[in-house]
Amino acid sequence: MVFPALPMIQKFMRLLTLAVLLLLAAGCGKPSHRVEFKPALVSVDLGEGWQVLDNPTKPPTCAPRLVSEVGMMSTLLLERQTDVQKAADFLQEAIVAASRVEPNSLKQEPFTTDSGLTGIHISYLARTEKTATAPDTRSHDFVFRNRQGQCVSVNYTTSPRVESPAILEAIRKTLRVE
């Protein structure tokens, strides 16, 4: 006896298999490396190779911290700051007071991520030791507002020798508020 709906079921199964294969080929099966920083409520996807250190932190630092061969990433929640320019100026003053910033290396420039998030990018070179003959640290702070209107700074610190333009591009492409 021939089951009358069998050809229709077989056709449906072929179409379903084709749809699943197309979705997998389109990248729906790719793993996400997105990390959310709490309580700042922002996230970024830097790709593979970053170790997530989810150690307890005290405000204004937000967990987790990310570490890789090309640097470290951390986040600050500047709760009392709601104006991005004032927050960037406040952070810049703190950076100059707390580190050995290389003269003429400190820059502020606007940035916009692929998701439309806007803010100010602060970058600078610094020396970690007084005796260092050349700058040995390169830092990037991306200052912006989260959904609650609080300012946040996402910091990427690296060595000028291993600084990765790809990481800066990943930040600009994937940084978003949650």
- Please give the model's pTM, rounded to 2 decimal places: 0.81
Question: Both 76 and 9 in a single domain?
Answer: no
Q: Looking at residue 124, which CATH number applies to its domain?
A: 3.40.1000.10
Q: Tell me how many domains the chain contains.
A: 2
Please report where in the chains the tokens 């910091």 appear, as a residue: 155
Residues 14 and 89 reside in one and the same domain:
no
- Assess whether 23 and 49 both reside in one domain: no
Is 173 found in the same domain as 133? yes
- Could you tell me if 5 and 69 lie in one domain? no
CB neighbours of residue 57 within 10 Å: 18
- Which residue range forms the structural domain that includes residue 20? 1-30
C-alpha separations of 153 from 49, 80, 92, 122 in Å: 22, 13, 11, 10
| Same domain for 126 and 92 | yes
pLDDT mean over 8-17: 55
Q: Does residue 96 share a domain with residue 26?
A: no
Q: Is 9 a residue whose pLDDT tops 60?
A: no
Output the pLDDT for position 155.
96
Can you give the pLDDT at residue 3? 55
* Whether residues 70 and 142 fall in one domain: yes
Tokens of 133: 């003959």
| Helix residue ranges, H only, the chain | 6-25, 84-98, 165-174
Q: Do 3 and 36 have their domain in common?
A: no
59 and 90 part of one domain: yes
Q: Does 12 score more than 90 pLDDT?
A: no
Q: Which residues pair with 155 in a beta bridge?
A: 74, 141
Residues 101 and 141 reside in one and the same domain: yes
